[in-house]
Amino acid sequence: MPRNSGSQNVTANLQRVESRDKLQPRPSNQAYWISISKGCYLGFRPSILKSAVKGAGTWLAKFNDAQTGKKPTTTLGDFGHLPGNERYGAAKKEADAWFKKLASGGSAESIDVAEACRRYAHGKPDAEQRFQRHVYGDPIARVLLDKLQSHHVKDWRRRLEAKPAIVGAHKNRSTSPTRERSPASVNRDATPLRAALNQARDDGFVQGDGAWRVALKPGEANGRRTLYLDKGQRRALLAAMPADIAAFCRGLCLLPLRPGALAAMRVRDFDYRTGVLVIHSDKENAGRRIVLPADTAALFKDQARLKLPAAPLFARADGKSWDRQKWKAPIKDAAASAGLPAETVAYSLRHSTITDLVVGGLDLLTVAQVAGTSVAMIQKHYGHLQSEHAKQALAGLAL
């Protein structure tokens, strides 16, 4: 039986339906409270609407922190979908989960999926664009994180998989040609949501990742981007481009970075005195440092010249950052002008530079570190390129 607490103005037995039915709305819409453990209270606020059914109201939870003196409160809901005799048990279960979150250092604040995405996307234009296309307008956006369940995330993924993908870069997305969304596209669109939810978990807004750990696990993407452009083709591509996109793509030709990582770089990330570049924003291994060779450092120095520390290192002609939707069209146009394959994309440059490093004999560990991925991924996709080195090494064993 819940314990009464005069300090919380307890005047009702909230467990019993008939007791709740007799409760009248209080001045200033205050709630009725009962103590369920030390410092933990469950509340009920009767509905003030005359049209409300008997016994309708909102359940709340309150925690009295003896150390800080704070009294955070959260709204649990009305549980109107349940019979009256089951609402107390459901509300207490939700309240206990909230108290457990606070006890483990979690945040008293409750945010929904959309807010988690907005917080993650700050300073990440590519993630923000994906959220605008696939999350903010979706039903999952309004689900509170502490009420997020795997079926919410699985349903979101099914809707994403059924959504046609836009072919190429077009101003009017409503009339653009489309194709069936590939597993690789689903992975790329799901990755920022997974990262946003993980960050919210780390920030204490939710206890675990059980709701999305499996549902957002990357699927097997068979359509690998394997187009290789030799150095002559890369030079032809750069020559067919306007100056701003040519500088950006030259950076991708000189470093095996993800396009998004290069686009996110700021002037402050490059130390022109030492030639050290710090990659802060990347899918993996963010915060890694690369010492640039002289020719590469010269390009970065030129891009940083006369810019403020917070300015994009590689900027468009209007001074704004590059993003996937902005670089797609000029690369496609340049590839057509240079007579290169139609499937040429920004990622083709990353694939080509990694290929050159592996074929050139650089060990896979170093390639992985520079590229910001795992040795296992380099081995999986590029390990076969070492076969000639192995053949030559074995030939050297002849007596």
315: left (phi over 0), alpha (psi -120 to 50) or beta: beta
Q: Write down the pLDDT at residue 284.
A: 66
Residue matched to tokens 């380099």: 378
Q: What percent of the chain lies above the pLDDT cut of 70?
A: 88
Taking the C-alpha atoms of residue 259 and residue 248, their distance in angstroms, rounded to an integer, is 9
Rounded to 10 deg, the angle between the 243-254 and 231-239 helix axes is: 160
Q: What tokens appear for 368 in the block?
A: 């992985």
Tell me which residue has tokens 């030390």: 38
Residue ranges covered by each domain of the chain: 6-103, 113-202, 231-394
Residues in the chain: 399
What is the pTM assigned to this prediction? 0.54
May I ask the CATH class of domain 231-394? mainly alpha
Give the Cα separation of 119 and 122 in Å (integer): 6
Which residues are CB-contacts of 184 (< 8 A; sequence separation ≥ 6)?
221, 223, 224, 225
Of the pLDDT bands very low, low, confident and very high (cuts 50, 70, 90), residue 221 is low
Higher per-residue confidence, 229 vs 77: 229
pLDDT digits (tens, 9 = 90+) for 20-72: 888 888 888 789 999 988 889 999 999 887 666 667 899 999 988 877 788 88
Please, what is the end-to-end C-alpha distance for the chain in angstroms?
Answer: 88
For the stretch 107-145, pLDDT in tens is 777 889 999 999 999 888 888 999 999 999 999 999 989
Give, in order, the Cα–Cα distances in Å from 139 to each of 109, 207, 322.
Answer: 21, 22, 30
Pair 42, 59: CB distance under 8 Å: yes
pLDDT above 90: percentage of residues in the chain: 52
The pLDDT of 175-179, averaged and rounded, is 61
Distances from the Cα of 170 to the Cαs of 146, 180, 193, 342, in angstroms? 38, 17, 24, 16
Q: What mean pLDDT is predicted for residues 297-304?
A: 97
3-state secondary structure of 111: coil
Signed CA dihedral, 322, 326, 331, 337: sign only:
negative
